[in-house]
Copies of this chain bind each other. A is one copy, B any other.
């Protein structure tokens, strides 16, 4: 064991608990919504409620932390997909991932609107992190001709988010309305053909 840099072990422990709680909260929020009992989250994380309260004094702190964490992870996935897939596929996959992220947040949008100051920074964080991520995917897809230009990344994100809201969606793929929206996003080569013929 080549102890790296004589760090204080207590820190490691604290960090471990924080991570465990974050993961637990993610799980529980998805299962029972953001109003799930604190005890359920602590139990899922394998710690006592006291520890939960020490690390996240208020529920909104925890919610915000989970939200932030997931935004980070989701944003990071964009670069990863772009690096390993064709632009169209990357965009599609990433939206599917974003969709699952949203679906996981039972009751979050209601919480956001609650006026709790702990949430004030969240929309900004969302825009700051996911806006550029979406932008990069759209740029690539526009360049490759997969989607038409002129779409605002945040508008799209919001729309997809809203449409994903009620859809736990069987296999993890976006629900019908999202697919509809995405279809509309593609370039209109074929679309035009569909629309031109003799209308009924």
Mark A residues whose CB is within 8 Å of B.
33, 106-107, 109-110, 112-113, 149-150, 155, 158-159, 162-163, 165-166, 168, 176-177, 180, 184, 188, 191-192, 195-196, 199-200
Contacts and interface: CB of A to CB of B under 8 A. Distances in A.
Contacts of A180: 155, 159
A37 to B, nearest CB: 14
Given A112-B166, A113-B166, A195-B195, 6 more contacts: A106-B110, A155-B176, A155-B180, A184-B184, A192-B195, A192-B196
Copies in the complex: 4
Contacts of A106: 110
Most chain B CB within 10 A, of A159, A176, A184, is at A159
Contact of A191 (B149, B176, B195): B195
A109 B165 contact: yes
Most B Cβ at <10 Å: residue of A112, A150, A163: A163
